[in-house]
Every structure is written in structure tokens, then in C-alpha cells.
Amino acid sequence: MKGARILLGVGGGIAAYKAAALTSTLVQRGALLDVILTAEAERFVSPLTFSSLTARPAYTSLWDVPERIPHIRLVREAQVGLVVPATANLLAKLALGLADDLLTTALLAARIPLILAPAMNEAMYENAATQEHLATLRTRGYTIVDPERGYLAEGESGIGRLADEERLVEALERALTPQTLAGTRVTVTAGPTREAFDPVRFVSNASTGATGVALAREAARRGAAVTLILGPTLLAPPSGVTTVRVATAQEMHDAALASAAGADIVIASAAVVDWRPVNDSPQKQKKGEQSIDVRLEATPDVVAEIAARKEKGFLVGFAAETQDHERNAREKMHRKHLDAIAVNDVRDGHGFGTGENALVLLWGKNGRKDLGTASKETLAARLLDAIEELRCS
């Protein structure tokens, strides 16, 4: 997002105030914004608000600086355009090619990716005319960030609430990211599994799934059709990704094999528990003076079975090691017939539940790439860069 040039259009709906909060977020992330408000938007929020947030002029009319032809200059200088909120009136104008103010004229002249975030009353959103206009705009290449269900300004509840800020930012990120994985199917496994020995206790590990979620998000930004097989975690899955929630190793096994069958890239980052209790008590076992013996058996080896059934695609495993990291990881890679493996040191709590991680990618007999120490989002991008390079070599 840093250095990105964004054209933000603000439509005349009550959700216009949220465009100001979004502007602040984007500026803090390093984006450079030009803002156009419709005349109706000015009834809800002042141009001064946006010029104060961006330290740049906010535009409202074709005649603000006519000598600079703003409707052409602004879209030529931007990398992506976003309209928040896109009212029913704006959608109708764009679908019909009407250009009667600065915003609609600029959007009609745009040759950049354009994103529309509709927000309006449920009845207006579900009206046949609005739905037809949305369908038309989709066929013309506009990205539509669908509204959400929730409390509406009229005191009603229903569909029509502006998409939350995270989804809007994610739509911008995708528009700004080169679509190097367009047409590619990617499966990512992430998070821990849980193996119960009574209704309230289980065997698990410290994985949060953050690395896998970051990988799924980054692959989707690059245009891939992503399926995320996600174990128990408090993290929300990224938008625009097909998420399959699982709990046990067997559930992870079944979902991963089904998804991996047609995938071009499989990244098995899940920390699948290696053992599960042989017997799962139907009742909570009470604490007493006596010790409890829990007999364990091996769980399915998910990544090994994916490799055994693989007919195409590129399979990357993960190894969390506490000693002889690269030797153990490379042995695991060859034993399980993986195309590559990412290894990290998890001694003293490193890697699990932290904002940063360190990864080394191994492949073949001697292939090695140190991805460094960075945030999990940055490492996800570096890992996908390396995978794309290996697939093409």
C-alpha cells in the first residue's frame, strides 16, 4: 500500500462518513489519495475533512481547476479507483454511461481498476433496477464489494450496510497486486488440530494459523482461487477465500485431500497433531488424586497422503524444528516426496503466536533460500515469490 496512488470517490449516502475513516487508514499505510465528492456527499461530510486527512485538495466540481482538466488528470495519475459509498444513483449513472459531475466523468474516463462499494437501504439494494445495474457493471470489469447485513440508518436491519473497512482495504490490495497467480488453484492448510479425550479436554499445540491465513490472503491477492483448510483459531479468514473449518486431524485430512486433488499449488502449513487419544470419554473426567493415563495413536499424515496422490501441482510442506533444523526438514521433504519445505526454529516459543517469524525454504538436493525474519504477512509474500519462481524453473 505504501506509495500507492488511489482515487477515492465519495457518494451521497450516510455511509460517506466512513469514507473519512477509510481515508485516514489508507494515509497511515502510506497511500497517496485524491478525493472527489459528489454534491450530495457534501451534505454528509465536508471536503475540508478529506483535504485535512490527505494534505491534498479535495475535489467537488469539474470547474474547480478547469485548466487542469481534473476528470482526466486524476484518473491518469491514479493506480486504482474506489467509490465509497456507491449509492443507487451512482450505480445507475455508471451503468448507463451518464457523466454529469466530476466523479462520474472521471470514472467514465478511467482505464484503471475500479472498485464500487454499494451502501443503501435494503429495499433500494434489492430493487430489480439496482441489481441489473450491478450485473452490468460487473460484466464491464468493475469490482463490487458487496454490502453486509446489519443495522441501517433508517433504524431497520437488513442487507445494504457498507462493507467493513478490512474488506475495502483488501479489495484495494488485490487491485494493486500483480495477478501472477490468475487462473491458478491454491490450497492452504493452516492452524492446529484438536484431538479430544473428553468433552472439554484435548491434545493440541500452540499454532495460531497466522502464517497460513497470511499465505491464503496473499495468494488471493495475486489472483488465485484459494481454498483455506483452517483448524481451530481465533483468527478470521481473509475475505474472498473459500474457507473450510475443521477441528481434528481426520477432518483436516479429508478436507485437504479433497481440495488438493485439483490444486496447482498446495501449501501445507497446518500444525496437525501427530497423536490422538485412542479413547474419547463421553463424559468429563473428574479431577481426583489418581493420575490419568491417556493412550495415544498416530493421526493421519496429511501432507504425505497428498504427495502420494498428487498427479500435478506443486506441494510445499512446513517443518517446525527445535534442533538440526535444515537437516531434519530436508529429510522430511525427501521422505514425504514434497517439492519444497519451509522450515523454522520454534525453540523458546519462536514462530507460534508471535507477529514475526523466520523461514528458510529448501528444495531438491541442495536448493536453499533464506526468507529472513519478518512479519508473517511479509514472509507469506516472499514464500509465494519463491514458489512461483520454482514452478517456472
Query: Residues of 239-273 as b/e, b for ≥16 C-beta within 10 angstroms?
Result: bbbebbebbbbbbbbbbbbebbeebbbbbbbbbbb
pLDDT digits (tens, 9 = 90+) for 239-248: 889 999 999 9
Dig out the grid coordinates for 354 from the structure.
508471535
Helix spans in the chain (H)? 16-28, 47-54, 70-77, 88-96, 102-108, 122-126, 128-139, 165-176, 210-221, 249-260, 302-309, 325-335, 376-392
Together in a domain, 172 and 190: no
CATH number where 191 lies: 3.40.50.10300
Q: What is the mean pLDDT of residues 164-176?
A: 95
Together in a domain, 221 and 319: yes
pLDDT digits (tens, 9 = 90+) for 77-116: 999 999 999 999 999 999 999 999 999 999 999 999 999 9
Residue 357 bears catalytic tag:
no
Catalytic residue among 205, 279, 357, 366: 205
pTM for the full predicted model: 0.86
For strands 340-345 and 356-363, give the pairing: antiparallel
Together in a domain, 170 and 243: no
| Per-residue confidence (pLDDT) for residue 242, from 0 to 100 | 96
Chosen domain end from 176, 211, 232: 176
pLDDT digits (tens, 9 = 90+) for 259-311: 999 899 999 999 999 999 888 778 887 776 567 778 889 999 999 999 999 88
Percentage of the chain with pLDDT > 70?
96
**Which residue type occupies 111?**
R
Residues 6+ apart with CB under 8 A from 285: 197, 198, 201, 292
Residues 6+ apart with CB under 8 A from 321: 328, 329, 343, 344, 345, 346
CATH number where 31 lies: 3.40.50.1950
Chosen domain end from 119, 154, 176: 176
The number of folded domains in the chain is: 2
Q: What is the mean pLDDT of residues 354-367?
A: 87
Domain encompassing residue 303: 185-283+290-392
Chosen domain end from 176, 201, 230: 176
